Amino acid sequence: MSEDGQNKHASILRKYPTYRDDFVNGSWKWIEGRQMDDNAEGLWRVHDKLCDLKKFVTAHPGGSDITEAFEAYHLTEKASNILQKYFVKDAELPRNYKFTFKDDGFYRTLKRRATKVYENMDKSSLLLRKSKLISDLNLFLFFFTSLLFVRMRECFSISFRLV
């Protein structure tokens, strides 16, 4: 029960996230909460397998369920085969997130089809160059507007101090 007397839940989770409703909540607090909720036992969890990736990934915060990130980033089975070398044991508790990644499911089917299209794509095509140009322009606009915002904020804060 929450402070206002209502049960809190999220439809994609088995357990409501730890520290979700804390007043002061930052990225490290979020990671700490994920480590508590993911049932990874201090290891990295991919699906229902626990792996020790300390030698492989030194910068990862560790102890979290990285299934979604793993599935989204790795398009081929090559990474799954490498991951088997780091397998420690099967997880004792179910994943907190209810997402499934079955071979005949929507996500894996979409991923296989997208991989086939990408492999057969002409990498020098006009459409691909246009897409890269749009991505680069978006990145430039993001940085430019960020700098503009910082500059505008400085101007406003100076004028407010003078008044």
pLDDT of res. 133 = 93
| H or E element at residue 89 | strand 87-90
Distance between CA atoms of residues 109 and 115, nearest Å = 10
pTM: 0.57
Q: What confidence category does residue 155 fall into, taking pLDDT thresholds of 50, 70 and 90?
A: low
Percent of the chain with pLDDT over 90: 13
All residues at 6 or more sequence positions from 22 whose CB lies less than 8 Å from its CB, including other chains: 29
| H or E element at residue 83 | helix 78-83
Per-residue pLDDT tens for 88-141?
999 888 888 888 888 898 988 998 998 888 888 777 777 888 889 999 999 999
Distance between CA atoms of residues 45 and 66, nearest Å = 6
Give one DSSP letter per residue of 101-135, joined into a string.
--TTSHHHHHHHHHHHHHHHS-TT-HHHHHHHHHH
